[in-house]
Amino acid sequence: MKMQKITLVLLALLCCTGLFAQNNLISNTGARKSLSLNGKWQYIVDPYETGFYDYRYKELKEDNPDAYWNTDVQVNKTEKKEHGYIEKYSLEVPGDWNHQQPEFTFYEGTIWYKKSFDMEKAAAGSKYHLYFGAVNYRADVYLNGKKLGMHKGGFTPFNFEVPVSLLREKGNFLVVKVDNKRHADEVPTLNTDWWNYGGITREVKLIETPGTFIQDFVVQLKKNSTGKAPDKTPEVEGWVKLNQAPAAGETVTVEIPELKFKTSVPASGQTTALKFKLPKVQLWSPESPKLYTVIVSTQSDRTQDKIGFRTIEAHGIQVLLNGKPLFLRGISIHGEIPQEIRRAYSEQDAVQLLHQSFELGCNMVRLAHYPHDEKITRLADSLGMLVWSEIPVYWTIDFTSEEVLGKAKAQLEEMIVRDHNRASIIIWSVGNETPISPVRTDFMHSLLTRARELDNTRMVSAALEVNYNALNDKNIVDDPLGEFVDLVAFNEYLGWYGGLPDKCRTTNWDTPYHKPLFISETGGDAKGGFHADSLTRFSEEYQEWYFKEQVAMLKRMPAKFVGISPWVLADFRSPRRNNPLYQEGWNRKGFYDDKGNKKKAFYVMKGYYDEMKKKTLKK
Ligand code: GCB
């Protein structure tokens, strides 16, 4: 009886997680032959989802002419048609819709996107995949009247295979129903502190691959395989995953031409394990972000990527990068370009955000609170910026629901699959400020376990809250989740949400866990250009004072303190921030204001980082 119950629970779990996870996600898509579908897409705004449900609120059948995936514009004047796509109503892809039309600023609902495209004749034996960098939040995708699939999750990639028989050389009719309504049982949930930008926010392309192709691979150094001991020759432990079981006799080859390295192993099923030493490799680090071209091939396919080799681990109370202690001079970032009030998506956007972070003296960015565009993690690789990458398990998502856990896991997997060859990424974070309860701890623990299963070469963490009442003279990070993370990270707003900044003078911090301790957020609002005395909230002087007190406190942190990522690089849009004089819909905790100007607090933090940098160089 007991056994039966366990099997049932296991089955239910498998179903729940399996339901949402995509087993077919293709990584390293930049190296693939593809047809870009970026650019102008025509749209229909459909707040009542008229193109999806009939007047009895039943889903329309695939071939129903009223469905918005079926027909283009009215072709003759006698036709009774109450929808259509025309040039006048166009949106740029990639890009959120909110900043593209004034009437979309606050829009939360459905917009139908349509793109017509021509292509070369589909090649015999090839496979075709429609790939989306991200669509917020739900995407229903149709090509030439047929549904290809549905995806939920606003910040991670997905792809659907397109049957060759569906493709035409001329006039393919691609429609995506995008819905960014918030729901209690989604990830994130109803309540966040950021703007719910909707739309096809990242690139779209039609990828061509061989029939049997390299869907994904990992070529990364094994944990703890660098360092001073003579036996620690950098060693790669990875794998190559094909989309299907290979034909007999297939081999998998990895080549790193610059190192004159080449190895071939017989393919063993769909996923082939790799293990080899790289004695001459120059390790990747922020100071020297060396990347190597790595070519992965089989008899039928070949792909390549630029990969850096480094190790990262929490060891006792330290974080070791390539075996050496590391101090993280971080900054939290939203994926937003404030001066244009929009989501970040381009190379240029990534340059802006990382350039501003380097100016602050950072060696690390916390990409909050969701996976950012792949452009920024790739740029971080080539510029030498360390990255914390996170899924939007934020505040009060429904921790009691297996289904919600499945959705969070799907996003975690998509984040990791996309970026598991990025040397810059050192931390996978499974969430932010989740309220402590046994059910929440099980939920978060399950995410941490999954992250480790998928990738044991990086640290796992989550931004936790603080127990302010544990001891008289100390604030303690004793969240039970601390037991399961590698890095104990916490958010604190001493002097903004509680008391005045001088409270820092008498405050100490610690954690009972023998682990590195990291401050994942601290900050206060200041409106750029508003000057007053330092006791005036929202003035640059208040924020400056806040960080002066914080920095003085940081200098008294226990030995396990390994770094900080203050909140936040730049002002960002948030519907929660409604002070009519100073906020007007903006969270003003940026070191940069919404025009890109530095506030006074910037120089305080920069001063501290410059000092810390000098200290580490001396060591
Ligand atoms: C936090 C959240 C962050 C908010 C920030 C704030 O603790 O993690 O998303 O934006 O505080 O400004 O209050």
Would the CB of 573 count as within 6 Å of ligand 1?
no
Would the CB of 567 count as within 6 Å of ligand 1?
yes
235, amino acid identity? E
Query: Does residue 3 have a pLDDT over 60?
Result: no
Mean pLDDT of 393-413: 98
Residue pair 131/34 in contact (Cβ under 8 Å)? The answer is yes
Query: Does residue 2 have a pLDDT over 50?
Result: no
Task: Provide, rounded to the nearest whole percent, the portion of the chain with pLDDT above 90.
Answer: 91
Mean pLDDT of 516-528: 98
Residue nearest to atom 3 of ligand 1 (CA): 193
Query: Does residue 17 have a pLDDT over 60?
Result: no
Per-residue confidence at 230, pLDDT binned at 50, 70, 90?
A: low
Instruction: Give me ligand 1 centre to Cα 340, in Å.
Output: 22
Do β-strands 561-564 and 517-521 pair in parallel, antiparallel, or remain unpaired? parallel
Mean pLDDT of 151-171: 97
Mean pLDDT of 506-531: 97
Predicted confidence at residue 91, as pLDDT, reads 98
Task: Give the model confidence (pLDDT) of 64-98 as tens digits.
Answer: 999 999 988 888 889 889 999 999 999 999 999 99
Which ranges of 473-618 would DSSP assign to H, the alpha helix?
540-554, 600-618
Instruction: Give me ligand 1 centre to Cα 391, in Å.
Output: 15
Mean pLDDT of 101-115: 98
Would the CB of 193 count as within 6 Å of ligand 1?
yes
Would the CB of 587 count as within 6 Å of ligand 1?
yes
Instruction: Please name which of 500, 232, 117, 138 lies closest in space to residue 130, comparing C-alpha atoms.
Output: 117
Report the C-alpha gap between 119 and 370 in whole angstroms.
34
Predicted confidence at residue 59, as pLDDT, reads 97
Mean pLDDT of 297-315: 98
Would the CB of 195 count as within 6 Å of ligand 1?
no
Which ranges of 219-299 would DSSP assign to H, the alpha helix?
none
Per-residue confidence at 13, pLDDT binned at 50, 70, 90?
A: very low
Residue nearest to atom 7 of ligand 1 (CA): 491
Per-residue confidence at 21, pLDDT binned at 50, 70, 90?
A: low
Report the C-alpha gap between 156 and 21 in whole angstroms.
12
Report the C-alpha gap between 85 and 540 in whole angstroms.
48
331, 543, 567, 579, best to mutate for ligand 1 pocket (most atoms within 8 Å of CB) = 567
Report the C-alpha gap between 571 and 436 in whole angstroms.
29
Ligand 1 atom closest to Cα of residue 587: 12
Query: Does residue 12 have a pLDDT over 50?
Result: no
521, 574, 591, best to mutate for ligand 1 pocket (most atoms within 8 Å of CB) = 521
Instruction: Please name which of 521, 31, 617 lies closest in space to residue 305, comparing C-alpha atoms.
Output: 31
Q: Which residue has the tokens 């009247």?
A: 145
Task: Give the model confidence (pLDDT) of 430-474 as tens digits.
Answer: 999 999 999 999 999 999 999 999 999 999 999 999 988 776 678
Report the C-alpha gap between 336 and 387 in whole angstroms.
17
Would the CB of 433 count as within 6 Å of ligand 1?
yes
Predicted confidence at residue 57, as pLDDT, reads 97
Ligand 1 atom closest to Cα of residue 572: 10
- For 105, 107, 132, the CA distances from 111, given in Å and listed in that order, are 13, 10, 16
Query: Does residue 20 have a pLDDT over 80?
Result: no
Report the C-alpha gap between 268 and 252 in whole angstroms.
9
Residue pair 127/211 in contact (Cβ under 8 Å)? The answer is yes
Q: Which residue has the tokens 């691959």?
A: 209
Half-sphere exposure of 159 (CA within 13 A, CB side): 27
Q: For Cα atoms 86, 342, 412, give the angle at the middle one, nearest 5 degrees.
A: 100
Residue 328's CB is within 10 A of a number of other CB atoms, namely: 25
Residue nearest to atom 4 of ligand 1 (CA): 193
Can you tell me whether residue 177 is helix, strand or coil? Answer: strand
Predicted confidence at residue 229, as pLDDT, reads 66
Ligand 1 atom closest to Cα of residue 574: 10
Would the CB of 491 count as within 6 Å of ligand 1?
yes
- For 152, 350, 440, 443, 480, the CA distances from 435, given in Å and listed in that order, are 24, 32, 7, 12, 11
Predicted confidence at residue 232, as pLDDT, reads 83
Predicted confidence at residue 228, as pLDDT, reads 62
Per-residue confidence at 125, pLDDT binned at 50, 70, 90?
A: very high
Instruction: Give me ligand 1 centre to Cα 579, in Å.
Output: 16
